[in-house]
Amino acid sequence: MRHHGNMKWLILTITALFFLFEFVSRVEPSLASTEIAARFNLNNAQFGTLASIFFWVYAPMQLIVGLLLDRFGARRLIPPAILICAGGVILFATAGNAYVAGIGRFATGLGASFAFVGSLYVVNHWFGAGRFAVLSGVVNAVGMLGTAIGAVALTSVIATSGWQNVFWATGIAGLVLFVIALLFMRDPPEHVPAAKKTTSFIAPVLVAVRDRNIWLIAIIGTLYYMPINVFGGLWGNAELTKDHGLSAVHAETAVSMIFWGLAAGSIAAGWLSDHLGHRKWIIVIGAFLTAISFAAAVYLPTSSLPLLSALLFLSGFLGGGQMLTFSIAKERHAAAYSGTIIAFVNMIGIGGALIFQPLVGALVDRNNGDFAWAMLTMPACLLAAALLSLFLTDKRHPDHIPGR
């Protein structure tokens, strides 16, 4: 039993590190955009297309990943996924032209698509029902801290050692993680792949698609996470420099506080949810308070770095409640469908990011570079998430009731 207990923590550590590795490989091109564009003779639009190949394979793969995990389990899928992701990073670093780099970026996105859903799958199948929310928050925190710390650290190393050497080092780190996963990944005791219990490979998808509540939860999660994707992922630096007069370095520091807050908030929301035994009202209140906090950060007429950093940290912390949408979604159905349901909710969320980031940019352009109107979309989405969450029910399938 003690060996079993140690093993599950080792497996969770491996998948959480894979999620961290995925996050680093996702953002790396943005840290050396000028150098990469010059290397492959690309303009800004072409570089954006090259970098976005990651997401165009990552998003549609989510549902396929969920199906494969429910059918075959994490042990058979996570190691090769890490290998493909690492191989893609190395191919990108060694590419002689943009076409080969695009293939590398495709492979990176393909392998990375297993990281987040695979981590939550491990949490769901190795740990008790009462620990899913807090441990999924821990997994998310690992990825967020990787974004907050890794981007700053890698930017400095790229400046001194060059982006190709950094990509090489990242890829080699991924290969080391692949070997560790190959040696130590296991299926949980008495694991029976879900597909053996269902009538067809597509059955888990039908369970998710036919449940209106799963759609509602996915939309809520997308709206709740929208400001983190839009402000933290793309437009925050530009808004803070233009409207608040911060330097680029100070703006990046302030934006990074969102991810520090999100890391802490994901764990806190999971702990509070498991402690109270319900999810709904944490989502409702969290989304509402996040709307107020983000609005304050954007619209208060201040150039104080400590104040803006504190408000953005608070926004990220309160935004951690979004992780509970995965818990409340997967708990509606049997554990055999958890991978597919989590993947479905994540896929809708990623699709939302692909829509909202360019939408906000278009609104900024339409208003002659003024961010004020475009940024209203953030509190609007959060308030919509809070309102829609009022219609949620904390329904739990017996598989997800602690102690059963």
pLDDT of residue 5: 67
pLDDT of residue 23: 85
**Given pLDDT bands bounded at 50, 70 and 90, which one contains residue 299?**
very high
Residue 98 in this model has a pLDDT that exceeds 90: yes
Note the Cα 18 to chain centre separation in Å.
12
Mean pLDDT, the chain, rounded, equals: 86
Residue 192 in this model has a pLDDT that exceeds 50: no
> What's the rounded Cα separation, in Å, for the pair 27 and 24?
5
Work out the average pLDDT over 55-63: 87
Residue 272 in this model has a pLDDT that exceeds 50: yes
**Given pLDDT bands bounded at 50, 70 and 90, which one contains residue 201?**
low
Asked whether the CA dihedral 339, 340, 341, 346 is positive or negative, the reply is: positive
Selection from 3, 86, 95, 82 nearest residue 41 by Cα: 95
Instruction: Determine which of 87-91, 258-262, 350-354, 376-380 has the lowest per-residue pLDDT on average.
Output: 350-354
What structural domains does the chain harbor?
1-195 (1.20.1250.20), 198-393 (1.20.1250.20)
> What's the rounded Cα separation, in Å, for the pair 288 and 244?
24
Helix (H, G, I), strand (E, B) or coil at 216: helix
> What's the rounded Cα separation, in Å, for the pair 346 and 85?
19
The amino acid that residue 266 corresponds to is S
Give the CA distances from residue 242 to residues 136, 229, 246, 372, 373, in Å, rounded to whole numbers and listed in that order.
Answer: 36, 19, 8, 11, 14
Residue 335 in this model has a pLDDT that exceeds 80: no
Note the Cα 192 to chain centre separation in Å.
28
Q: What are the tens digits of pLDDT across the range 16-48?
A: 999 999 988 887 887 787 888 889 998 866 887
Q: Which residue do the tokens 């564009």 mark?
A: 37
Selection from 60, 197, 65 nearest residue 119 by Cα: 65
**Given pLDDT bands bounded at 50, 70 and 90, which one contains residue 248?**
confident
Helix (H, G, I), strand (E, B) or coil at 23: helix
Q: Rank 203-207, 368-372, 394-398 by mean pLDDT and report only the highest.
A: 368-372
Residue 200 in this model has a pLDDT that exceeds 70: no
Q: Are 223 and 384 in contact (CB under 8 A)?
A: yes
Joined together, the tokens standing for residue 342 give 């989590």
Work out the average pLDDT over 213-224: 95
0.85 exceeded by the pTM?
no
Work out the average pLDDT over 214-240: 89
Work out the average pLDDT over 186-195: 62
